[in-house]
Chain A
Amino acid sequence: MKRKLEASELIFKIISYTLLLMFSLICLYPFLYAISSAISGRAAVEYGQIVLFPKDVQFQAFKRMFNDNMFWNAYSNTLFLTFYGTVWALFVAILGGYALSKRRLLFRRFFNFFLVFTMWFSAGLVPQYLNYLQTKAVFNSVGITDDKWLVVIAMGMAAMNIILLRNAFEGVPSEIEEAAIVDGATEFQVLTKVFIPMCKSTIATVALFFAISRWNGYFWARQMISNPNEHPLQVFIRLKLEEFTDPDRMSGWNELYASDSVIYALIVCSIVPILIIYPFIQKYFAKGVNVGGVKE
């Protein structure tokens, strides 16, 4: 049924279209600006002449980045942390979430509280720092000198994600589990053959959350990884920013492109891979919010 729009409706529609388009453009603009600045000539960037489109296009800043071994090093470190960190966190979270989802588990309330309490109260930076230092000493004494393993194993576990998994596992009908047990499945087979396939999308969402927090991890990686060759990308970007916005260090800058262009190039390089996989992960990302851990 088509009806004529009332005046108030029309006005509201126009307002929402305009404001939404404006907000979308504002969200997009900094990225476009970063790309343009990364590929513009020195004078244009330094005198602030770039508004939207690049001027005197050059690709030297990108080239400098790509020729920097440390950049690729940082990238591979980030991939290492993201991959192993996600695998380890998922391993712990799936096993824990599965056990917690069983009503026959003894002391279930205690284990749940054990988990949830860490969401309410955290010891804070200083105790955590001391704790990680001790862990690092233990790791070193057993021969693990690569601090990346410390970051992989000790950091990034989130109680919220385990609870998301627990709720998903609780949603699996118990008849299916019983059927599997009657057919002679062991506990591990029930988990791997029944529960994991049935909760695939929640597991994907949780894996995504873990992967994002690993990819983005900065503070503890900077505090704990002492060898600059093992720094992940986030730390690398920050150190570059600190170096390049220091006027004393930059006064001798003698290239055809502005020093800012290098920073913009770095930003672009760190966003592009995420943009490439964005269409594939978007549906899980949107879904994760709705799952939200709200438990009736």
Chain B
Amino acid sequence: MESKASDFLVFDEVTKTYRENPEQVVRDDVEKHYWRNVGLTILKDWRLYIMLIPMILVFLFWRYFPMYELLGSFKVSDEVKPVAEQFFAGFSYFKRLLVGGDGMSTEFWRAFRNTFLLSFYGLCFGFPMPIILALFFNEIKSNLVRSTCQVLTYLPKFMSTVVMTTLVTMLVKQGSLISGMGIVSQALSSLGLISREVANAGLLNNPGFFRAIYQISGIWEGAGYDSIVYFAAIIAISPTSYEAAQIDGAGKMAQMRYVVLPSILSTIVIMLITRIGSLLNIGYEKVLLLYNPKTYVTADVVSTFANRYGLEGAAKGIASAAEMMNNVIGMLLVIGANTIARKASNVSLY
């Protein structure tokens, strides 16, 4: 577009000369005094900005300063020197993790795969459970029975991760000289689902069972609580919708298909997108509390890998490089999911 001279100069018909455009003078003035005006606005509302200070400090110190420490993943780890003065290692840690070919690299890829698989199985098995529960809750017309069931299913959510994993550990623990195996192992072996030797060796010591234990305990803990949001969407459906469907001759299944599901679809889509967005942000505490060296094959995720090498071991640089890769991909997933959610339903998650 050609620049318009009239933006800066106007032709004066009386004196036959050009002079400065008064609007431009105002614009220049605003630009010149931009920071002064900012300062004045802040000064006028200083109380508001004082209120922001504690939040900014907390996030700066304990959320953003650690990001500065991420420089360590490009530096040779040195406990004594601050991270800025350490020797530069370039992308060597990343290279070693991705294509190193040594034990560290295999372990990293295993951890990455496990992270993805644990979330993915959670998506397949853990995600539909609350929806099914909410549909069932809707069928129970007796208030007393329904609220009793709801209270009972929310109950496990009130345990901390530590208490939950302690309970799980006790329920499937190995048998030893001083005590028998856990009650769930006993039940499974007497039902013939697993052999007695396997049960006696402790299910948490068996890599083949880790994922199942992780998912089942996840459903036990969260399905009831997560069903609240779907149930709220279902009871918001107007009774007239059901009546209209009944008059049209819809049976139970047809009502489910044409009335209930469409009404909760938007909730399901939002929850699904959130879930996909956090596919790589797996809670490390639960894995850390349930796994042991015997189950690393299936249980080790990227954050526990970083914990083992960076916190317990001394390979800080390589551990933070591993987790940084995981978190960057995770961030892209979250942003992507949020963009899709906004496009699909005009609802932004953040």
Contact = CB atoms under 8 A, between A and B. Distances in A.
A129 B303 CA distance: 13
A280 interface: no
A23 B52 contact: no
Contacts of B139: 12-13, 16-17
Interface in A121-156: 121-132, 135, 154-155
A124 B320 CA distance: 7
A184 interface: no
A260 B179 contact: yes
B54 A95 contact: yes
A233 to B, nearest CB: 8
A69 interface: no
Contact of A293 (B61, B72, B323, B350): B350
A219 B284 contact: yes
A163 B270 CA distance: 18
A289 B229 contact: yes
A95 B327 contact: no
A227 interface: no
Contacts of B55: 92-93, 95-96, 99, 115, 162
B45 interface: yes
A80 B251 CA distance: 56
A16 B45 contact: no
Contact of B160 (A30, A106, A270): A270
Interface stretch (A47-55, A57-65, A171-179, A197-205): A47-55
Contacts of B186: 48
A106 B83 CA distance: 34
Given A219-B284, A238-B166, A264-B170, A12 B346 contact: no
Contact of B334 (A120, A186, A296): A120
Contact of A126 (B42, B155, B306): B306
A106 B289 CA distance: 45
A114 interface: yes
Interface residues of A, number: 105
Nearest to A275: B158
B162 to A, nearest CB: 4
Interface in B123-141: 133, 135-137, 139-140
Contacts of B306: 124-126
A127 B320 contact: yes
Interface string B262-274: 0000000010000
Contacts, number: 277
B224 interface: yes
B30 to A, nearest CB: 15
A30 B170 CA distance: 10
Contacts of A155: 62
Given A93-B55, A124-B323, A215 B160 contact: yes
Given A20-B136, A125-B311, A8 B251 contact: yes
Given A99-B52, A119-B350, A123-B69, A237 B162 contact: yes
A241 interface: yes
A12 B155 CA distance: 26
Contacts of A119: 334, 350
Contacts of A81: none
A188 B47 CA distance: 8
B84 interface: no
B104 interface: no
Contact of A105 (B48, B59, B64, B83): B48
Contacts of A294: 270, 347, 349
Nearest to A24: B152
B350 A31 contact: no
Contacts of B135: 16
Contacts of A182: none
B154 interface: yes
Contacts of B9: none
A67 interface: no
Contacts of B149: 20-21, 23-24
B179 A46 contact: yes
B161 interface: yes
8 contacts: A9-B251, A13-B139, A16-B135, A92-B55, A118-B59, A121-B328, A124-B327, A127-B320
Given A124-B303, A126-B69, 18 more contacts: A16-B139, A24-B149, A24-B153, A92-B55, A99-B51, A122-B63, A124-B326, A125-B310, A127-B67, A127-B68, A127-B320, A131-B65, A259-B178, A267-B163, A271-B163, A285-B225, A294-B347, A296-B347
Report the 9 A-B pairs with minimum CB-CB distance, sorted nearest first: A96-B55, A124-B323, A127-B69, A126-B310, A216-B160, A48-B180, A123-B66, A187-B47, A127-B66
Interface of B: 38, 41-42, 45, 47-49, 51-52, 54-56, 58-59, 61-70, 72, 83, 133, 135-137, 139-140, 145, 148-149, 151-156, 158-163, 166-167, 169-171, 173, 176-183, 186, 220, 223-226, 228-229, 232, 251-253, 270, 284-285, 288-289, 303, 306-307, 310-311, 316, 319-320, 323-324, 326-328, 330-331, 334-335, 346-350
Interface of A: 6, 8-9, 12-13, 16-17, 19-21, 23-28, 30-31, 33-34, 45-48, 50-51, 91-93, 95-96, 98-100, 102, 104-106, 111, 114-116, 118-132, 135, 154-155, 157, 159, 162-163, 186-188, 191, 215-216, 218-219, 223, 234-235, 237-238, 241, 245, 247, 250-251, 253, 258-260, 263-264, 266-267, 270-271, 274-275, 278, 282, 285-286, 289-290, 292-296
